[in-house]
Structure 1
Amino acid sequence: MRRNIPSMQSLLCFESAAKHSSYTHASQELCITQSAVSRQIQQLEDSLQLELFTRTRHGVELTVAGQQYYNLIKPHLLGLEQSTLDLMSHKGLGGTLKLGVVPTFATCWLLPKLHRFNEIYPEITIHLETSTKPFLFNEKIFDAAIYAGTLQQIQHWPGAETHYLMKEDLIAVCSPQLILKNFPEAVRISEFSYDLSPEQLIQLPLLQQTTRPSIWQEWFKTHEMIHPKVSAGHRHELFSMLAVAAKQGMGMTLIPQILIESELQNKELVIASSKKLLGSRCYYLVHSRQESSPLIQKFIDWIQQELSISTHQQ
């Protein structure tokens, strides 16, 4: 071993045998003999001074130490494989960005526009994974993340460089059918918005967000209204789930307008009131203060430009 790193061949044999609980299946997957697999794993056990497998009637089984080691090395082997595929795909002329993104922002705003980034920078590959909580950049989970939180939360993110994207101002929306059902005489003030009176608003059923159960209380209190059932209604965790429920006429909900651009354009949702709830949270792009790169900067410049266009269109 060099610097206490086992040979790659022994690690691959161990990972395959652990995955299949079989030296035979590992040998078939790796296109080597079963005795070669056994020899590599024996060398690994000797170097670690630990037993990684025990024999069973049907093959092999990981020991407690073996299971721990398998769980630890598996993501690193997958990462090496992905990094190799990434390098091969862009021929060393671009690179790969692994981004953690809050779920609704990813599905409702970023993904529908990401093809435009790809048209400008075809040499950069983007990998998206959903993430709702801060993490340590030294864990190498993501190159950067798009995170929705308060300024205090962002300031307490260790080692992070932050770039402001937008505020999370919330608007009240529902299906047009829900308004017409309750108020057939209601008049739109624009192509996709009404401005219902307080008396009308409190008659509509509400959709609640699980992670922010007091959000409707804040909205009604801010605009000096009292709803008799302000905490009642179906509860869903994500903005995307609330949008789907609202489209089905299940109630009125609070959502950032920028996340429902297509629903408003398609008239699946309408704005029920001109009154907004100015959010305490904002969207930020964060990356390691130590590892800024030209790839990250290109993505930051692009997303800020796209957000500026979306904001001006509202």
Structure 2
Amino acid sequence: MVKHVEPDQILVKMPSLRAVKSFVAAAKYLNFTRAAEALCVTQAAISRQIRELEASLGVVLFKRTGRAVELTEAGVIFYDAAYLSFVNIAQAAQRIQDSDTRKQELTICCSPAFSAYWLSNRLPSFFSDNPDIDVNIVTTNNFLHMEPGVHPDVFINKVSDSREGYHSIPLFYDQIYPVCSPEFLKDNPSVASLEGLQSTTLLNLSPYGRSQIAEHVDWSVWLNSQGINFNLGSEVGSHVFNANDYNMLMQMALNHQGISLGWHHLVAPMIEQGKLVRVGEPETTYKEKRHYLSYAESKQDNEALQTFKLWFLERIQEESTFIGQTEQGKSVSA
């Protein structure tokens, strides 16, 4: 017995793609004659297709004044969606056509902060060593709710099970210490002590930002790990700026606006370059949380993925942050 398939409402309600294609060309050039030339058809064919589309949608898409045309409000809305869809279809078709000759491609997903401060400083060496691999970076602060259709080959985050079908390799613990610009430290030498930190401008990652990056990149938590009971916003002489964007906090630190908690894996290059300096000696290594490299199991034999994984783990080991190596500073057990 043949199983009856219910009509797909989206496909059933979809207007003619030929008509939509004519509309997109006419909307792009705002001229039916030029649209006809672009599609190698007659101007009459363009006009007919657009009339059919307007009848199908039940709205007017163009205002016609003599030979000139302009989009109506409905036309603008439909053009924005239709043009983007055609671009995506054209690019997908091109990728398929070039699949036998194109470079290997790898899609990596990580936080905006990790992309800006870790990958951007190190990927150039990967590119120079692997010119046959193209890398796509997708950044998000919400790894558990990715956009539909986004299927990264690699995740770099603190979630050990990013999603089903991925295998995770533990990387490093979070090593946290205060940082600021050399100019700010020069103008505020007292901040080199824990007492001085309590009476200065503290750049703090808000709860939402911490939930996406690291819960303990928080001044109250960090000072508590140093044996100091500190309540943000209630201490005399202190000023706290909160933001859920770690990139913004780093930019404010670079602009001499205060002291931020530095996540070692992100701020180390800026310290090496002299753009930031560590404030005092205290630091905390949190061992209740780890970061992971997660890769799609379906692509575990993929040459590009294997090349990147090896390169990435070597960089981590070189920086002495791989799990199992000796870690300095005060540690907090889970």
TM-score, structure 2 normalization:
0.69
Q: Specify whether residues 290 and 6 from structure 1 end up closer, same or farther in structure 2 by C-alpha distance, changes over 3 A only.
A: farther
CA distance in 2, matches of 1:168, 1:24: 62
Q: Specify whether residues 220 and 127 from structure 1 end up closer, same or farther in structure 2 by C-alpha distance, changes over 3 A only.
A: same
2:202 is paired with a residue whose SS is: coil
Give the alignment of 1:279-290 within 5 angstroms.
Answer: 281-290=289-298
1:220 alignment partner in structure 2: 223
Q: Aligned partner of 2:182: which letter?
A: P
- How many pairs align? 295
| CA apart distance, 1:35 | 2.9
1:207 alignment partner in structure 2: 203
CA distance in 2, matches of 1:312, 1:149: 15
| CA apart distance, 1:133 | 1.6
1:206 is paired with a residue whose SS is: strand
Q: Is the 8 A contact 1:90 1:124 kept in 2?
A: no
Q: Is the 8 A contact 1:206 1:230 kept in 2?
A: no
| CA apart distance, 1:253 | 0.9
Give the alignment of 1:51-70 within 5 angstroms.
Answer: 54-57=61-64, 58-61=69-72, 67=77
| CA apart distance, 1:110 | 0.8
TM-score, structure 1 normalization:
0.72
Match of 1:304 among 299, 309, 313: 313
Q: Specify whether residues 229 and 271 from structure 1 end up closer, same or farther in structure 2 by C-alpha distance, changes over 3 A only.
A: same
Q: Is the 8 A contact 1:150 1:280 kept in 2?
A: no
Q: Aligned partner of 2:220: which letter?
A: Q
| CA apart distance, 1:198 | 2.6
Q: Specify whether residues 76 and 60 from structure 1 end up closer, same or farther in structure 2 by C-alpha distance, changes over 3 A only.
A: closer
| More deviation, 232-241/26-35 | 26-35
Q: Specify whether residues 9 and 127 from structure 1 end up closer, same or farther in structure 2 by C-alpha distance, changes over 3 A only.
A: farther
Match of 2:135 among 122, 126, 132: 126
Q: Specify whether residues 40 and 97 from structure 1 end up closer, same or farther in structure 2 by C-alpha distance, changes over 3 A only.
A: farther
Match of 1:183 among 154, 165, 189: 189
Q: Aligned partner of 1:284: which letter?
A: Y
Q: 1:159-218: per-residue Cα shift (whole Å, max 9, x none)?
A: 44434443333221122333333337x9xxxxxxxxx44323323321111323981111
CA distance in 2, matches of 1:55, 1:274: 67
Q: 1:38-72: per-residue Cα shift (whole Å, max 9, x none)?
A: 455567789xx6557544233454759x957963x
Give the alignment of 1:153-168 within 5 angstroms.
Answer: 154=161, 157-168=163-174
CA distance in 2, matches of 1:111, 1:173: 20
**Residue 250 of structure 1 pairs with residue 257 of structure 2:** yes
**Residue 79 of structure 1 pairs with residue 88 of structure 2:** yes
Unaligned runs of 5+ in 2: 1-10, 328-334
1:13 is paired with a residue whose SS is: helix
2:332 alignment partner in structure 1: none
Q: Is the 8 A contact 2:154 2:296 kept in 1?
A: no
Q: Is the 8 A contact 1:18 1:70 kept in 2?
A: no
Unaligned runs of 5+ in 1: 187-195
CA distance in 2, matches of 1:120, 1:7: 48
Q: Specify whether residues 227 and 86 from structure 1 end up closer, same or farther in structure 2 by C-alpha distance, changes over 3 A only.
A: same
Match of 1:275 among 283, 287, 290: 283
Q: Specify whether residues 16 and 102 from structure 1 end up closer, same or farther in structure 2 by C-alpha distance, changes over 3 A only.
A: farther
Q: Specify whether residues 23 and 112 from structure 1 end up closer, same or farther in structure 2 by C-alpha distance, changes over 3 A only.
A: farther
Q: Is the 8 A contact 1:137 1:287 kept in 2?
A: no
Q: Is the 8 A contact 1:208 1:234 kept in 2?
A: yes
Q: 1:231-254: per-residue Cα shift (whole Å, max 9, x none)?
A: 742233332222221122221111
Q: 1:95-126: per-residue Cα shift (whole Å, max 9, x none)?
A: 22333331121122112222222223212211
| CA apart distance, 1:93 | 5.1
Q: 1:132-172: per-residue Cα shift (whole Å, max 9, x none)?
A: 22267793224335343444xx36x3444434443333221
Q: Aligned partner of 2:219: which letter?
A: W
